[in-house]
Every structure is written in C-alpha cells, then in structure tokens.
A and B are shown apart, each in its own frame.
Chain A
C-alpha cells in the first residue's frame, strides 16, 4: 500500500504497452480464473446465463474490465480523480465488496505471469501489484 514512484509509473506504462494488444485475452482469463478459483465471486454475476470459463458474457465483461485498467494507466498521476465515476459505480450501483478487488488483482497478476513469462520480471511484478493496489484504493474511495 505504497505510493507509486516515478520508476513504478514508467515500469507500469512500459509493461502495459507490451500487453495492451492482448487486453481481451487477459480479461477473459483473469475473470474466468476469478470465478473458478473464488466461486463466491459468482454472486455478482448471477444475472448471466453462462458463468463457465471463457463463456461469452465472461469474455465481454473481462474486456470491459481490462479496458478500464488500461484507462487507469493513463491516469497514473491522479487515479483518485480519474476513477471517481467508476468508484461511484462500484460503491452505489454494483456494491462489490472491496475485498474482491484484492483477489481479482491477484488473478490479473497470475494471468500476466502466465501469458508474459519473460516480461513479467520481479520488478514488473512489484510495480504492477502496487499499481493495481492503487487502482483498488481509488475504486473504493466513494464507499464511505
């Protein structure tokens, strides 16, 4: 839970440039993993017909989420301000328990490691983990 240094921000941007072309794959894999490994998270998607890994709703929503993460990369200097509308969405409408942001972050990192084994060095790992923690904090901003 530490602030992003200049170096962290540069690392995040560089890594994101590499992985951005695969945003859809990362999204569907991370969300599928979340639903399989942490079945309690299915509760938020009870309105979908098909919750199986790689299903159409999962693919579509995974892309939505990772596109959001991508836009956060461009707001690195003011995540709280930039993510305010998304925070309101999560706090007032979706009401996702912020504890789930941690487990979803974990799934995203696992997928990064899985898909980009050479680029996902320990240095990139710590920068991305700090970044996603900062995004989670900003998303939780409007809860109370």
Chain B
C-alpha cells in the first residue's frame, strides 16, 4: 500500500495545519499510549514519572513528533531518509516494531480529537498509510 500522489498531498496539506500543534499531538499521543497500552512502559522504565501528564512523557512526545515532521519532509523516500532513525531504533532502543502500530493508532486518535473538522475519512486513510510507511522505514534495519 504505497503512498499515491494524492496521499502525499493530503498528508502535507493536513500537516500544514496540524504541525502548529505538533508538540501537543506528540505529548498527548505518547501519554495515551502509555496509559492505554501499559505494556509500552517497559521502554521508559528509566524515567521517574510515568503517570498521566508527566513531564518526561510530554517532552519525549515532542521529540517523536519532531521525527514525524522530518519524515513528512522526506515523504518521497522514507527508507533512505530515515536510515539513521532506523538504526537507532534497531540497534540502540530495540523497540519491538509491533509498538509502532500502537503508537500510530494513538497519533491518529489524537489528530481526530484535535482536528475534528479536518480529520476527514480521506485524511485519515492517507495519514494511516503514511504512518504505516513510516513504520516500515523505521523497521528497515532490524533484520
């Protein structure tokens, strides 16, 4: 399910609007993921505070959405563009790629919450395909 021209345009157009609240999207999505899928806490056991609305989670959510922003700029070649991020996740962080699906889901939920009028079904499918492509690119170096 590669990204069509239409998908890429939809992602960029929606992101032009949503990027203004990138930090909020990131912190909300990560908070939600840790709360709704507690098994993901395993990757953040080095943080003191994993409660709802904690500072480390909010901060890290921003970092993640920064990565998403970078990926949108490289939407025409995600695999090579995200090589170093893939290496980071594969060799250092060792996040099980199954979790990328979970986080993607949380990001989509937060986008729907924050942009109810703009997050139409058409935008939804394009963003979902984009996050799936992003997931694939990040997973590239695992094996």
Residues in chain A within 8 A of chain B (CB atoms): 1-3, 80, 126, 130, 137, 140-141, 143-144
Contacts and interface: CB of A to CB of B under 8 A. Distances in A.
Interface residues of B, number: 13
B73 interface: no
Max chain A C-beta neighbours (<10 A), residue from B2, B79, B129, B135: B2
Interface of B: 1-2, 79, 97, 125, 129, 135-136, 139-143
15 contacts: A1-B97, A1-B136, A1-B140, A1-B142, A2-B141, A2-B143, A3-B79, A3-B140, A80-B2, A126-B143, A137-B1, A143-B1, A144-B1, A144-B125, A144-B129
Query: Residue among A2, A80, A141 with the most chain B CB within 10 A?
Result: A2
A128 to B, nearest CB: 12
Contacts, number: 24
A130 B136 CA distance: 13
Contacts of B143: 2, 126, 130
Contacts of B139: 1-2
Among the interface residues A1, A137, A143, which one has the most CB atoms of the partner chain B within 10 A? A1
B129 A1 contact: no
B133 to A, nearest CB: 10
A134 to B, nearest CB: 11
Given A144-B125, A144-B129, A2 B1 contact: no
